[in-house]
Each structure stands twice: as structure tokens, then as C-alpha cells.
């Protein structure tokens, strides 16, 4: 039986994003994938982010004009022993 890590995902001005993983153990060096929701109703990975020493990372998205539905996802393999896969909340982001 496992628990899901808590993943927070935010996007600020100028497509600057941050992801943070909260769990009982450190997830430094693990990967979190940024996914977008397609018109075919599928989640597709388009960016991998390696977490820093505080189990978080700030980075910049490079998106073309349009409307995006995004989330952060950590696979069960990246989450580690005793953890299930984790998802952040879904963010609808518009690039003008």
C-alpha cells in the first residue's frame, strides 16, 4: 500500500513555472513531467524537470500562442518505494 506525493505546480508571468514535491522523504534528483491535455483527450508529456535539493525546481515554459491545459506528473518509478504516482492540480494557461 502506498501514498501519493503532494505535487504543487504554478505558472507565473512570462511563462515562468515552478514545481514542488512534498513527501516524507526527499525527492531530489527525481524527474517530474509536465503534461498537456490534447484535443484527443490524452495527457502527453512535453517537458521533464529534474528536482533540486529541496525537491523543487523553477523553470521556464516555451509555449506558442494558444490555450493549454497543463499539469505536473510524477511516475510511480520516479516517486520511489512506498509511493504511488502523483499529479498536481490542472492549470488552464493562455499564451497571447
Q: Is residue 60 part of a domain?
A: yes
| 23-37 pLDDT tens trace | 999 999 999 999 999
| 27-86 pLDDT tens trace | 999 999 999 999 999 999 999 999 999 999 999 999 999 999 999 999 999 999 999 999
Instruction: Specify the residue for cell string 509536465.
Output: 34
Backbone angle region of 75, left / alpha / beta, with phi > 0 → left and psi within -120 to 50 → alpha: beta
Domain tally, the chain: 1
Q: Is the pTM of this model over 0.75?
A: yes
Q: Is residue 1 part of a domain?
A: no
The CATH number of the domain holding residue 24 is 2.60.40.730
Helix or strand holding residue 31 (H, E): strand 31-37
Separation of alpha carbons 46 and 52, rounded Å = 19
Amino acid at each position: 500500500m502506498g501514498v501519493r506525493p503532494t505535487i504543487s505546480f504554478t505558472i507565473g508571468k512570462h511563462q515562468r513555472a515552478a514545481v514542488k514535491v512534498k513527501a516524507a522523504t526527499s525527492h531530489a534528483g527525481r524527474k517530474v513531467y509536465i503534461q498537456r491535455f490534447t484535443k484527443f483527450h490524452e495527457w502527453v508529456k512535453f517537458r521533464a524537470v529534474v528536482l533540486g535539493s529541496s525537491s523543487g525546481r523553477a523553470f521556464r515554459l516555451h509555449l506558442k500562442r494558444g490555450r493549454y491545459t497543463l499539469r505536473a506528473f510524477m511516475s510511480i518509478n520516479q516517486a520511489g518505494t512506498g509511493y504511488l504516482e502523483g499529479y498536481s492540480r490542472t492549470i488552464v494557461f493562455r499564451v497571447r
